[in-house]
């Protein structure tokens, strides 16, 4: 068996280490590299076959990946090492969204440390249409989807909206399931986290952290593009307004 390709979660953690080191590679004997190697081997991503490989996420492999980040960064004057598209996307993400990506790394570390991320089952919508997960990491997307599908949380959010005497309609486009589908659509709406889970951290979800969305807007909030993922309902609304303004 070949050593598996690096995943988003693993690259987020390596990228954070390189950024904190001033965009310089870290050597194999560095304590931070050895600790990260142990952490990567504990991620609930790869099976026992990968863990049995001596070189799988070894300190040496972590050091080499840190060199990819350094030599492919725009500030590096020497020759770049060869790396994959996903690594280059991650370098770009850390270059232009450093604070956000460092938060994502911290959220992954905290989720692994608490054991939460190891307990989450894979979700069918973890992958986008192209088969790649969000740039902030597969495990954070998984955690968000699991929370949004909590039936108790969804019911409490719907009741909160209904008690406020507001229409149970999409907060982005205004779609009302009951108005369109009659009794079939009564009391139906999907629920979405307003703040990305890497930013909100592992704290308990509050009802004000959630938004009611139609299925289309919910999907568009989650859909990832190269180098970006997860947009808030407000950001999606602005995208729709901009698109409408540019459409003849």
> Are the C-beta atoms of residues 141 and 185 closer than 8 Å to each other?
no
- Residue 165 burial (CB count, 10 A): 6
pLDDT at 202 over 70: no
Give the C-alpha separation, 232 to 148, whole Å.
14
Tokens of 19: 């950024």
pLDDT at 196 over 70: no
Q: What is the DSSP letter of 53?
A: S
Write out pLDDT tens, residues 97-117. Answer: 898 899 889 989 988 988 988
> Are the C-beta atoms of residues 89 and 226 closer than 8 Å to each other?
yes
> Are the C-beta atoms of residues 116 and 143 closer than 8 Å to each other?
yes
Write out pLDDT tens, residues 117-164. Answer: 899 888 887 776 667 777 778 888 888 888 888 899 899 999 999 998
pLDDT on residue 43: 92
pLDDT on residue 4: 93
pLDDT at 194 over 90: no
Give the C-alpha separation, 13 to 88, whole Å.
14
pLDDT on residue 68: 98
pLDDT on residue 197: 54
Write out pLDDT tens, residues 212-244. Answer: 999 999 999 888 776 667 788 999 999 999 998
> Nearest Cα to 15, choosing from 118, 110, 96?
96
- Categorize the per-residue pLDDT at 63 as very low, low, confident or very high, splitting at 50, 70 and 90: very high
Q: When comparing pLDDT for 38 and 100, which is higher?
A: 38
């Amino acid at each position: 068996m070949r050593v598996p390709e690096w995943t988003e979660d693993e690259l987020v953690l390596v990228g954070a280490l390189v950024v904190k080191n001033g965009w310089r590679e870290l050597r194999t004997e560095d304590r931070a590299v050895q600790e990260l190697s142990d952490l990567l081997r504990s991620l609930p991503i790869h099976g026992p076959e990968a863990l049995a490989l001596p070189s799988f996420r070894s300190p040496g492999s972590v050091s080499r990946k840190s060199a990819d980040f350094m030599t492919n960064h725009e500030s590096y004057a020497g020759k770049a090492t060869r790396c994959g598209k996903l690594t280059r996307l991650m370098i770009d993400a850390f270059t232009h969204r450093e604070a956000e990506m460092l938060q994502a790394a911290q959220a992954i570390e905290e989720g692994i440390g608490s054991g939460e991320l190891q307990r989450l089952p894979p979700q069918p919508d973890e992958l986008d249409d192209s088969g790649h997960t969000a740039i902030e990491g597969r495990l954070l997307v998984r955690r968000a989807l699991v929370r949004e599908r909590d039936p108790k949380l969804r019911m409490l959010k719907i009741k909160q909206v209904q008690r406020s005497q507001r229409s149970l309609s999409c907060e982005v486009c205004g779609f009302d399931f009951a108005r369109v589908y009659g009794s079939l659509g009564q009391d139906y709406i999907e629920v979405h986290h307003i703040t990305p889970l890497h930013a909100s951290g592992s704290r308990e979800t509050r009802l004000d952290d959630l938004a009611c969305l139609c299925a289309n807007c919910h999907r568009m909030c989650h859909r990832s593009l190269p180098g970006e993922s997860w947009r808030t309902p407000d950001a999606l609304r602005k995208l729709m307004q901009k698109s409408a303004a540019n459409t003849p």
